[in-house]
Amino acid sequence: MVRLALVRYRWRMTDILIRRLGPDDATVFDRVDPDVFDEPVRPDRIAAYLAEPSHLMVLALADGLVVGQCAAVIHRHPDKVTELYIDEVGTASGWRRQRIARRVMAEMIAWGREHGCGEAWVGTETDNEAALELYRHAKPKPLTEGVFVMFEFDLDAES
């Protein structure tokens, strides 16, 4: 099911469309502001991402241009509640401070709830003030904040 929402902001005379994506929505990525994702979106990768039922993506579009996104994965456990792991939230630099990130994240949380997720989680660096403000605004349950540690493994490299 694709759910659409239009929001008109006074300071910009552009409608922002918040859109949930499905497996047939790869053409939406024909026009993407370069600041929305960390790297250019490749058609083969987006098709594979959208084909996975547990991979969710919500976009913010302005006149057909992707200006914001939230990507998440439904994570099922044998011993815990189903979680929504919010992997990434991005807004193009020229579109920040307009509540776009809040809206795509809120839409993603609602979608996760519809999929039976009992919790959602997201991580960020302790010095990423914009992300911290965004995530705190979503009213998470209280957690002890600490230093975020990440280990990365190159799976393409020979051991």
Does residue 8 surpass a pLDDT of 50?
no
Q: Rounded to a whole number, what is the largest CA-CA distance in the chain?
A: 55
Average pLDDT of every residue of the chain: 84
Does residue 127 surpass a pLDDT of 50?
yes
Residue with more model confidence, 65 or 144: 65
Mean pLDDT of 68-91: 93
For Cα atoms 34, 156, 24, give the angle at the middle one, nearest 5 degrees.
45
154: CB partners within 8 A, 6+ apart? none
Mean pLDDT of 30-52: 95
The pLDDT assigned to 10 comes to 41
Architecture of the domain whose range is 4-137: 3-Layer(aba) Sandwich (3.40)
Q: How confident is the model at residue 41 (pLDDT cuts 50, 70, 90)?
A: very high
Mean pLDDT of 53-58: 97
Q: What is the DSSP string of 78-129?
A: SSS--EEEEEEEEE-GGG-SSSHHHHHHHHHHHHHHHTT-SEEE----TT-H
Report the range of poorest mean pLDDT among 12-21, 22-31, 44-53, 67-76.
12-21
Residue with more model confidence, 149 or 87: 87
What span, in angstroms and rounded, lies between the C-alpha atoms of 115 and 111? 6
The pLDDT assigned to 6 comes to 47
The pLDDT assigned to 7 comes to 45
- pLDDT > 90 fraction of the chain, expressed in percent and rounded: 53
Does residue 90 surpass a pLDDT of 70?
yes
The pLDDT assigned to 59 comes to 97
Task: Report the phi/psi class of residue 22: left, alpha or beta, with left for phi > 0 and alpha for psi in -120 to 50.
Answer: beta
Give 89's Cβ-side CA count (13 Å radius): 26
Does residue 21 surpass a pLDDT of 50?
yes
pTM: 0.81
What span, in angstroms and rounded, lies between the C-alpha atoms of 113 and 120? 9
